[in-house]
Amino acid sequence: MKKSRLAIFASGSGSNAEAIIKYFGNHPQIEVALLLSNNAQAYALERAKKYNVPSKTFTKTQFQNGEVNQWLKELNVTHVVLAGFLWLVPEIVLTTFPHRIINIHPSLLPKFGGKGMHGHKIHEAVVAAQETETGITMHEVNEHYDEGKILAQVKCAVLPTDDAAMLGERVLKLEHEYYPKVIEAWVTSSADRPR
């Protein structure tokens, strides 16, 4: 049987991208076909290189005019994984990959999500709101920020002594542990789902 092929989109550090690349390094059903970035300086590109995963950068025009979508088709990509990717996904990609684009957000959506809610801002808001728990949400991607169908959530405690940085570290560890596993279950089960 042919393997499912992932394209990872990352705009920044790419620690999740690396965790995913490592997890599927020797997987019987799933492989990482390429890593794409909108940011030529993204450390995610270095990480891809380290594991011999092909990578490419692109502009907003190339994303919106269908060029990036064409690359995905040419490389027989079956599923798209966003990992710290900051742009909305254009219609042309959404319609090519229905129910086959996943993202991760470092809070328990719908709390602390939406446009502008990324990076340390999320954890600062969680601490300021005196939440007792936070966590990660893995969800399908649609035309709005952080609003696609929720596929899985994993929680962790917010301690009274936490600052945003401490909390961010705890949440990022959860992401590395769970995102690859949730991707695996999602890809495997999507084989029986209609497009």
Residues with catalytic function: 105
Question: Per CB under 6 A, which region of 22-30, 104-112, 143-151, 159-167 contacts ligand GRF?
Answer: 104-112
When the beta carbons of 21 and 187 are compared against ligand GRF, the nearer one is 21
In angstroms, the CA 103 to CA 142 distance is 10
| Residue type for position 184 | E
12 binds ligand GRF (CB under 6 A): yes
When the beta carbons of 120 and 193 are compared against ligand GRF, the nearer one is 120
Give the phi and the psi of residue 183 in degrees, each rounded to 5: -60, -45
102 binds ligand GRF (CB under 6 A): no
Q: Name which position in 4, 14, 79, 94 contacts ligand GRF (CB under 6 A).
A: 14
Number of continuous H segments (helices) and E segments (strands) in the chain = 7, 7
Encoded one letter per residue, x for contact with ligand GRF by CB under 6 A and - for no contact, window 155-174 reads: -----------------x--
175 binds ligand GRF (CB under 6 A): yes
16 binds ligand GRF (CB under 6 A): yes
Tell me the DSSP string of 62-125.
Answer: HHHTTHHHHHHHHTT--EEEESS--SPPPHHHHHHSTT-EEEEESS-TTTT-STT--THHHHHH
Q: Which two tokens stand for residue 172?
A: 């990022």
Question: Per CB under 6 A, which region of 8-16, 72-80, 149-157, 180-188 contacts ligand GRF?
Answer: 8-16
Q: How far is the CB of 13 from ligand GRF (least distance, A)?
A: 4
When the beta carbons of 162 and 175 are compared against ligand GRF, the nearer one is 175
Q: Name which position in 72, 94, 104, 138 contacts ligand GRF (CB under 6 A).
A: 104
In angstroms, the CA 30 to CA 54 distance is 16
The residues, ordered by sequence, that sit 6+ positions from 161 with a Cβ below 8 Å of its Cβ are: none
84 binds ligand GRF (CB under 6 A): yes
How many other β-carbons are positioned within 10 Å of the β-carbon of residue 185? 12
Q: Which two tokens stand for residue 63?
A: 């994303």
Is-contact 91 143, C-beta < 8 A? Answer: yes
Question: Per CB under 6 A, which region of 12-20, 45-53, 90-98, 125-133 contacts ligand GRF?
Answer: 12-20
Q: How far is the CB of 172 from ligand GRF (least distance, A)?
A: 6
